[in-house]
Structure 1
Amino acid sequence: MRLPSSFAALVVGLAQAQAQYLVNELSFGYGSRISPEGTQSIPNFSLQGRPNLPELLSNKVILTPVAPGNQRGAVWADRPLQHQSWIADVEFRANGPERAGGNFNIWLVRDGAHAIGSSSIYTAGRFEGLALVVDQYSGSGGMMRGFLNDGTIDFKSHHNVDSLSFGHCRFAYRNLGRPTQIKLRHNEHKFSVEVAGRPCFESDKIRLPSGYNFGISAASADNPDSFEVFKLVVLTENTHENYGSHHDAAAAAPPAGGDANNNKQQRMTFGRGGQAVVEDPYDNVIPDQDADQITSSKAQFADLHTRLQNINHHLSNIFRVYSQGLGTGEQRHEEVSIMLGELKGMLSRLDKLDALEHRLGDIEREMRSMRSELSGRLRDSENAIKYHVSDKHETLADHVKTHTKQGHTKLILVVLCGNALLVGAYMFYKRKRASPKKYL
């Protein structure tokens, strides 16, 4: 019996759905509550923020509040992702007044809590991994862009961060009144991003190695948007690498510099066109074999030939790294030499301090001698003035006494004589006036 096409599609969808397994340690928001009742933390996640930590509610995390502006918030998974095929489902919501601003970032970065923290794509420094940014880039009203970095680019000091994106799509996300879903898919064939159930962008050139941490951050502007996260759910098809609740963080996270088998971790590098690929530092590694499996001289020769080629490749890599190290060392030596030359020039200026110190000592001695000399001269001048003033005062006093001994009698006689003359003159005037006049 032939099944309808819709029923067959449903069966295929159910089969695919059953093939996905939830990674509890990298997920939150899939249950009735984000955090256990009575606690203010998300299990297996850490909150970061500046100047305040994000507000944690029962069903969402408010990364940036409506007010005040210039806030930053982030939530980071404590354990790294140890799968190559995975799906990440994020639901967020952005609310704010007209002409408000901010950005929402989804990270998959090595040691993201320390390398990124609560930074955005514009304030992050050197990081290794993937970043998806949602903002109103170039007045678009809503856009998602993807960025990749292998740890060599400092985004914070880059002159044009927007030019580093490898994919983008437009969509409205502000003031919708409902959460917006962003879904990331990664496997050995391609990497893709979906927004609200519609494809955004994809690439078959991107391979992200395991060992990276999921994180979500948001930053608001002076006129802020409020960004809220409802869930981050990570699904995988491989149950062998699934985290169990009984495993601790040490068992889940690989040792520094290697994985559980003491192999070097893979690093992400960029290929042509800015597309990311995976580079294994120990490529062409031949697995060990038992000697009993080599039963013929031809197989022995082939094994020896292959291993010699492998050794040759490794030696070539060693010499290549060594030559690069020499070039870097010479460049740094040149920089250090330039810095030492500048430092010597500055130290030569310090030699002038000795001459300046001697000159200041001479000036101090001259000032002291001048002070003592000036004090002596002022003292002599004061004594001379006192002597002359006292001598002149005594001479003037004696002179006044000498001239004023008989001065009063003469003054009285002069006054009396003057008065008598005035009286006589007045009497003569009256007599002349009263005498009869003679007329001719």
Structure 2
Amino acid sequence: MVVISWLLLLIGVLESFATEWNTQDYMKREHSLIRPYQGTGMTIPNWDFMGSTMVTNNYIRLTPDLQSKQGALWNSVPCHIRNWELQIQFKVHGNGKDLFGDGFAIWYAKERMKPGPVFGSRDYFQGLAVILDTYSNHNGQHNHQHPYISAMVNNGSLHYDHDRDGTHTQLAGCEAKFRNLEHDTHISIRYERDTLTVSTDLVNKAAWKQCFQVNEVKLPTGYYIGISATTGDLSDNHDILSIRLFELDLIDDPKDREDRSQIVPSAAFYDPPRERVEDLKQHSWSGIKLFLLMLLGALVLIACVVIIIMLHKKHQENARKRFY
């Protein structure tokens, strides 16, 4: 009995461990990409690629470790699933030790195959972007370290500000050391009943670690999954090894049967804007300048009052002399 009890306990522990990593939901092959990648010729069924993207037997390289490169990979089938989880195995690596960049973005967007300035894709997009930013010298230091993972929901009216790492429009973010690791690195984006959860496995333990979770995120159905990357003056290899999309097996809810195809992407909560160290210094210097200007104004005012008093006394003395 004791042996059986220990075996049951071990099986339970192993099952609980596995559920942290392997989802029991349904993988949708039309939205997934696993090896071998290529179909006939240089085409990939259900996927298109552009820019510097290169397909090999072992990985899909969005950008090589060279300056000024831009590549993207987009699913050609719109995703009509209401609740889903996207798991991506990736590798970011390069020769740079202190300076490297720029990073890549994972998209759930209305428009696909649109190159642009936001990590290889268009600005003012509609949908969700999960950004893995590696640019460690990004126009002034920030109060977070790089690499950095953040999420942005856009209805088409918001601008992604590279100078501020998108912190004025992000939902949430976390630091994540995923660059130049020898073992596999994974990210999970889970969208379950308007709750967005981003998790990672960067320590090769086959278990998810939550990066952040945001409630009340409204995303339409019928958008496209994509991944894009870019390099500038700094560079890295941005490799995608696998993409798996799962339809979540949830308890039936009447809300899940609502038509979500026409709603506008939105989020109820955003992180408060966080300033760069450079901005804080500028604001501090602005405060000093304001104080000095106020001090100078006070001194000028005092000097004017003193001069007026002296002139008044002088006038009175002259008046008394004339009287005598």
In the superposition, the TM-score normalised over structure 1's length comes to 0.50
Q: Is the 8 A contact 2:87 2:187 kept in 1?
A: yes
Q: Aligned pair 1:42/2:58, yes or no? A: no
Matches within 5 A, 1:202-351: 202-237=213-248, 265-271=262-268, 273=270
Query: How many corresponding residue pairs?
Result: 245
Cα–Cα, structure 1 residues 48 and 156, in superposed 2: closer, same or farther, change >3 Å? farther
Q: Aligned pair 1:104/2:104, yes or no? A: yes
CA distance in 1, matches of 2:162, 2:211: 28
Q: For 1:214, give the aligned amino acid.
A: I
The equivalent residue for 2:36 is: 33
The offset of 1:18, in angstroms, is 7.5
Q: For 2:54, give the aligned amino acid.
A: E
The offset of 1:154, in angstroms, is 3.4
The equivalent residue for 1:297 is: none
Cα–Cα, structure 1 residues 180 and 203, in superposed 2: closer, same or farther, change >3 Å? same
The equivalent residue for 1:171 is: 176
Q: Is the 8 A contact 1:125 1:156 kept in 2?
A: no
Q: For 1:225, give the aligned amino acid.
A: D
Q: Aligned pair 1:74/2:83, yes or no? A: no
Q: Is the 8 A contact 1:100 1:221 kept in 2?
A: no
CA distance in 2, matches of 1:158, 1:223: 15
CA distance in 2, matches of 1:263, 1:188: 12
Q: Aligned pair 1:22/2:21, yes or no? A: no
Cα–Cα, structure 1 residues 133 and 11, in superposed 2: closer, same or farther, change >3 Å? closer
Cα–Cα, structure 1 residues 159 and 221, in superposed 2: closer, same or farther, change >3 Å? closer
Report which structure shows greater RCO (CA 8 Å, sep ≥6): 2
Q: Is the 8 A contact 1:94 1:226 kept in 2?
A: yes
Cα–Cα, structure 1 residues 15 and 132, in superposed 2: closer, same or farther, change >3 Å? closer
Cα–Cα, structure 1 residues 11 and 182, in superposed 2: closer, same or farther, change >3 Å? closer
The offset of 1:34, in angstroms, is 1.2
The offset of 1:63, in angstroms, is 0.7
Q: For 2:109, give the aligned amino acid.
A: V
Q: Is the 8 A contact 2:218 2:267 kept in 1?
A: no
Q: Any gaps of 5 or more consecutive residues in structure 2?
A: 138-144, 202-207, 251-257, 273-324
Cα–Cα, structure 1 residues 63 and 212, in superposed 2: closer, same or farther, change >3 Å? same
Q: For 1:88, give the aligned amino acid.
A: L
The offset of 1:126, in angstroms, is 1.5
The offset of 1:208, in angstroms, is 1.9
The equivalent residue for 2:322 is: none
- Counterpart secondary structure, 2:218: coil
Q: Deviations over 1:397-421 (max 9, x none)?
A: xxxxxxxxxxxxxxxxxxxxxxxxx
Question: Percent same amino acid at aligned positions?
Answer: 22
The offset of 1:76, in angstroms, is 0.4
The offset of 1:188, in angstroms, is 1.1
The equivalent residue for 1:58 is: 57
The equivalent residue for 1:154 is: 159
**Greater share of strand:** 2
Q: Is the 8 A contact 2:119 2:228 kept in 1?
A: no
1:181 to 186, 198, 209: 186
CA distance in 2, matches of 1:262, 1:147: 23
Q: For 2:217, give the aligned amino acid.
A: I
CA distance in 2, matches of 1:169, 1:157: 17
- Counterpart secondary structure, 1:79: coil
- Counterpart secondary structure, 2:79: coil
Cα–Cα, structure 1 residues 47 and 108, in superposed 2: closer, same or farther, change >3 Å? same
Q: Is the 8 A contact 2:158 2:169 kept in 1?
A: no
Q: Any gaps of 5 or more consecutive residues in structure 1?
A: 240-260, 276-440
- Counterpart secondary structure, 1:172: coil
CA distance in 2, matches of 1:112, 1:71: 19
CA distance in 1, matches of 2:72, 2:218: 25
